[in-house]
A and B are shown apart, each in its own frame.
Chain A
């Protein structure tokens, strides 16, 4: 293709231009995702889950419990911000830095889970089914915030849509897992590792590829 062709293209693009609404600010998008999460948690709490006095029975002393909780909170913040920043061209640095923070959170959460396994041990097959229940619960809590994050991704222009989708789902599931971790009384080290600490990672990477590809195709067709 020639330089004349490029000049022609620029003229055609200029003729094609129409007013556009700029994408929301990153902090507004992040606040939106967090607000949706807070609304979902509040609605559940008003319906009695977790019970009002549950905070008094949180097993702070359980081995690895605090590390998993802090790790999940760090994953939630880091991965969600990394996903949203990844959708805005020019914010790659923020995305990369937040992704690194999320990775640290993951190490902390998994480390806490491993400590729990080492200290409390495993209660056998029952822990697998209770872990699946907690993962489902975290996914349900994450549904609306994840949808909001993915809509922002679709509206933006992510350089790596699959990775951004993975981070978005991981971050929002971590938000759900924080609530699950605080309210769950199932106990057991393996349960804490699989059902709480690893839930964001499992779900994030399970659904990332299909969602990322949908976003990419949708963007190309736009």
Chain B
């Protein structure tokens, strides 16, 4: 860790790999959703990276790692709770699931008003709506393509639909 604080990349990579099983155990002990473990493990390592200046060489290393890991897991659980509360299923939002969409939606010509409204969306929301409803991908596929979790993609898509509705209503009035 001391070498890491001096900027030694090789020592750091070795340390992170040595810590990986330990961190994974901490996360697995506290998280019930097995699918989310790897996601949270990554959050823990990002937190360790950001907090690496808070380690003092004269202090024991294990309590430092454990404290940061615990806090990161708690943050992740809280964040998942918040996202879960905000999350609305696509059907509840009045938008059909991709299976009900046309076989090749991206081939159908887009209404100019819709195209204009889509262009005005923030990039992340435009991408989420586009992947699901223009390219016809499933939520899981779209999430993988966007490099985010399924929950995050659903939230982005939901916000995108809401913004689209507002923009189209403005256009019609």
- A interface list, Cβ under 8 A from B: 1-3, 5-6, 9-11, 13-23, 25, 87-90, 92, 155-157, 159, 219, 222
Contacts and interface: CB of A to CB of B under 8 A. Distances in A.
Nearest to B14: A14
B82 interface: no
Contact of A13 (B8, B39, B46, B56): B46
Given A17-B4, A89-B68, 19 more contacts: A1-B42, A2-B38, A5-B38, A9-B45, A10-B17, A10-B20, A14-B10, A17-B9, A18-B7, A19-B5, A19-B7, A22-B57, A25-B56, A89-B55, A90-B64, A155-B53, A157-B68, A159-B67, A159-B74
Interface in B87-137: none
Contacts of A16: 49
Given A21-B53, A89-B51, A156-B54, A10 B64 contact: no
A21 B54 CA distance: 9
13 contacts: A5-B38, A6-B45, A10-B17, A13-B49, A14-B12, A14-B13, A17-B12, A20-B7, A22-B56, A25-B56, A90-B63, A157-B68, A219-B50
Contact of B7 (A3, A17, A25, A92): A17
B113 to A, nearest CB: 37
A219 B51 CA distance: 10
A108 B63 CA distance: 33
A10 B45 contact: yes
Interface of B: 4-10, 12-13, 16-17, 20, 38-39, 41-42, 45-47, 49-60, 63-64, 66-68, 70-71, 74, 149
Majority secondary structure, B binding face: helix
Contacts of A13: 12, 16, 45-46, 49
B42 A9 contact: yes
A15 B9 contact: yes
Contacts of B6: 19
A2 B74 CA distance: 21
Nearest to A216: B75
Contact of A157 (B7, B17, B51, B60): B51
Given A14-B12, A90-B64, A23 B56 contact: yes
A16 B6 CA distance: 13
Contacts of A14: 9-10, 12-13, 16
Contact of B53 (A3, A22, A25, A90): A22
Contacts of A2: 38
B28 to A, nearest CB: 13
Contacts of A19: 5-7
A90 B52 contact: no
Contacts of B66: 90
Contacts of B59: 90
A10 B7 contact: no
B12 A6 contact: no
Given A10-B13, A19-B6, A90 B60 contact: yes
